Chain A
């Protein structure tokens, strides 16, 4: 394979590069391993482009700064790890309720609590998705390697902007702090999308969606139209109301706005093989070992299908439904104790066996996944 523009870059570099390409011009950060390298990359690169990158006194402030800047009209992003993400949860809920675009990169480390800062893990996946009080969907995008981290962050920014929602870019130490050869000339081309702006000559309603699934048109704070932003339950005008049909309509809107835009959010790589009865489903860093294991299994003459899920949430149900057809065994490797994503996928997997390969505090190896693939199916 001939490379034309090889560089040695970290996943953090690719996240910063992709974010800048996607139009992010505001970054606020607080140091935390293994997300600090995203922070330092943005502090170095954004000011050169006339953007703003600042340090905050804590993760709460970092995300509040981002949301404030986004309300003024900038594309904004921050990055953190598990301990900082838990501090940001309040503001993620606020961004969701106020329909403010923002991207939060969550570089996982081994938890709970301080855990191990430089130990890879996939233990924050449910924390990322289910952190919204009230239970509203939050898009979660998860790259597997530096080259697709670039694509992932562009997609995350595009989703945040077009649907006016916070988006979590879920990654981990193995991606942000590993330096790898990437051919920059082979990075995919992606269209950059902006938030839908209000420009019409008619009264402006801050949350004036036309159809429940439509994101409302955006007008910046300080722009020509008066905006009324609130994190409290509200109507289309942004007035506080706690019950009644307008409040219920708004809450329903927050739900369907995400769920009815699955085609824009869904991102998977489906690698089927004819006649296979085994399907490996993987995401994040573990996907790399899974891909190696599937490759080896095929060389050994086994038919194995492979599904990589990048858009972890909302769960790509229709893809799962089509890829499960004819499959008897599903293998889901994850770097967490109990199989967190497996527990979410289980209701969608109509197979005889759903097997988790789980491990913490070290990488799951291709051999461990291969052993799962080669294991004889259980017969009752």
Chain B
């Protein structure tokens, strides 16, 4: 099958055969590999594939990994990015996404990685297979780490002898194509470096508009054939025994490239900006001359932090500076929920609370969390604690309203507590809190009702 029959992103309009291998690979440079190494076959086949597709070398980026195969960049006339070990697919994804979504989408990104890189960077391959960016990956699988002395990798066959599996490897190898098939990889192929159709298979993988991976099997003459002299004749038989086919294994023409899906999903026109552009106006007056430090706590899911937020909006509406810090257990939906609040007529410097001026507690889990704060509160201060709860001796004044029987929706209990507090310490008008609720624009009636009930509670 002629690969150029497929739509090719990044291909120029130049007629076929106008380019030559020499336009991609500097043939005058000595290949930096051992004699007989398969890497040079793959490099030349890549150049031949680019030639078959008449691609502009200026619109190709080869992202190479660590290992002997990564030395390819010294010979290439395309853009080259020589990366860290196993990370080449992730760097390539960044280049490709930027090109597709922010550039002219004319660049073809091709990863050259070994079996060692594919072992350490396995997650990147899994992720790219899932994402489906327009990246082609050529795995040079020679079953071991050649550059570092022939150690075994995640791709080393069982019984294969390496410098670290002297009695033969005992761990079965990763079937990368099988694995990535389960991740919905669009294009998968497995070939031998010596296969005559290698350039055509690579060309097809490059033509594929999405994530394409070719596992290319070869032998390391430095260690592989030296340690395993009979291996040459056994590769195909071994593959057959493992049930691993050669050739193009899958080619899904219906998969949508990541950049296309991203464009479709990421710009919803009806999406309202969560953060309003204009500021919060000063509509009310406050009575503070010094900072007020308040801490409130209750049960997760009962609106402690959102009541605290409305409280800060009310304060800003009254011309105050505020700070809010929230806390939860590790899982946010259970146990306590607390907010530390500071209200100040001037810009807040230190925003911690060691001795609170006010403590609001609406449930047992809130009390459990804040009991320490309650007992060391400012003696001049004011606490509001749900009437049902048993509390220790408190230095300041304590109000004990019963919100539970009063407020229909427990989500508004904490808002009622804020209202009760403001009634007895009106440092800002209750109308400011009501205005903050109206500005939030959801659940307004119920919230205003809770504020009213809280205000009247005690």
Interface-forming stretch among A54-62, A149-157, A343-351?
Answer: A54-62
With contacts A54-B97, A72-B95 known, is A181 near B90, CB below 8 A?
no
Q: How many Å lie between the Cα of A38 and that of B356 in the bound state?
A: 29
What band does the interface of chain B fall in when counting residues whose beta carbon is under 8 Å from A?
35 or more
With contacts A6-B280, A230-B73 known, is A69 near B95, CB below 8 A?
yes
Q: How many Å lie between the Cα of A91 and that of B278 in the bound state?
A: 39
With contacts A52-B101, A221-B61, A365-B354 known, is A61 near B280, CB below 8 A?
no
With beta carbons under 8 angstroms apart, the residue of A44, A227, A291 that contacts B79 is A227
Chain A contacts of B124 at CB under 8 A?
57, 61, 64
With contacts A179-B323, A222-B79 known, is A48 near B271, CB below 8 A?
yes
With contacts A60-B87, A72-B95, A177-B326 known, is A1 near B346, CB below 8 A?
yes
Report yes or no: A68 in contact with B95, Cβ–Cβ below 8 A: yes
Report yes or no: B280 in contact with A7, Cβ–Cβ below 8 A: yes
With beta carbons under 8 angstroms apart, the residue of B71, B274, B320 that contacts A44 is B274
Task: Across the interface, name the chain A residue whose C-beta is closest to B126.
Answer: A57
Report yes or no: B350 in contact with A221, Cβ–Cβ below 8 A: no
What band does the interface of chain A fall in when counting residues whose beta carbon is under 8 Å from B?
35 or more
Interface-forming stretch among B159-167, B196-204, B308-316?
Answer: B308-316
Interface of chain A residues 278 through 322 with chain B (CB within 8 A): 288-289, 291-292, 295
Interface-forming stretch among B102-110, B223-231, B244-252?
Answer: B102-110
Report yes or no: B97 in contact with A8, Cβ–Cβ below 8 A: no
Task: Across the interface, name the chain B residue whose C-beta is closest to A183.
Answer: B279
With beta carbons under 8 angstroms apart, the residue of A1, A26, A48 that contacts B347 is A1
Q: Top 10 closest A-B pairs, CB basis?
A: A68-B94, A64-B90, A5-B279, A72-B98, A222-B107, A47-B266, A69-B98, A65-B94, A363-B352, A230-B82
Is A273 interfacial (CB 8 A cutoff)?
no
Report yes or no: B347 in contact with A221, Cβ–Cβ below 8 A: no
Is A178 interfacial (CB 8 A cutoff)?
yes
With beta carbons under 8 angstroms apart, the residue of B58, B81, B127 that contacts A229 is B81
Q: Would you give the shortest CB distance from A307 to chain B, in whole angstroms?
A: 16
Chain B contacts of A91 at CB under 8 A?
84, 87
Task: Across the interface, name the chain A residue whose C-beta is closest to B108.
Answer: A222
Q: How many Å lie between the Cα of A142 and that of B48 in the bound state?
A: 51
Q: How many Å lie between the Cα of A377 and that of B371 in the bound state?
A: 39
Chain A contacts of B445 at CB under 8 A?
none
Q: Is the interface of B mostly helix, strand, loop or mixed?
A: mixed
Interface string of A1-26 (1 = CB under 8 A from B): 11111111100010000000000011
Q: How many Å lie between the Cα of A366 and that of B123 in the bound state?
A: 47
Known contacts A3-B282, A177-B326; 13 further A-B pairs (Cβ under 8 A): A7-B279, A26-B102, A61-B127, A68-B98, A70-B98, A73-B103, A76-B94, A179-B322, A222-B106, A240-B82, A288-B350, A292-B350, A365-B352
Is B41 interfacial (CB 8 A cutoff)?
no
With contacts A8-B280, A180-B351, A292-B350 known, is A52 near B78, CB below 8 A?
no
Report yes or no: A231 in contact with B97, Cβ–Cβ below 8 A: no
Report yes or no: A221 in contact with B81, Cβ–Cβ below 8 A: yes
Task: Across the interface, name the chain B residue whose C-beta is closest to A230.
Answer: B82
Task: Across the interface, name the chain A residue whose C-beta is closest to B326.
Answer: A177
Q: How many Å lie between the Cα of A9 and that of B324 in the bound state?
A: 10
Can you list 27 pairs linking A and B with CB atoms under 8 Å apart? Answer: A6-B279, A6-B316, A7-B280, A8-B313, A9-B275, A44-B274, A52-B101, A54-B262, A57-B126, A61-B93, A64-B90, A65-B97, A69-B94, A70-B98, A72-B102, A74-B102, A90-B87, A178-B351, A179-B324, A180-B324, A222-B59, A226-B58, A228-B79, A230-B73, A288-B349, A289-B352, A365-B352
Report yes or no: A292 in contact with B349, Cβ–Cβ below 8 A: yes
With beta carbons under 8 angstroms apart, the residue of B84, B93, B309, B351 that contacts A288 is B351
Task: Across the interface, name the chain B residue whose C-beta is closest to A54.
Answer: B97
With contacts A52-B262, A231-B82, A363-B352 known, is A60 near B94, CB below 8 A?
no
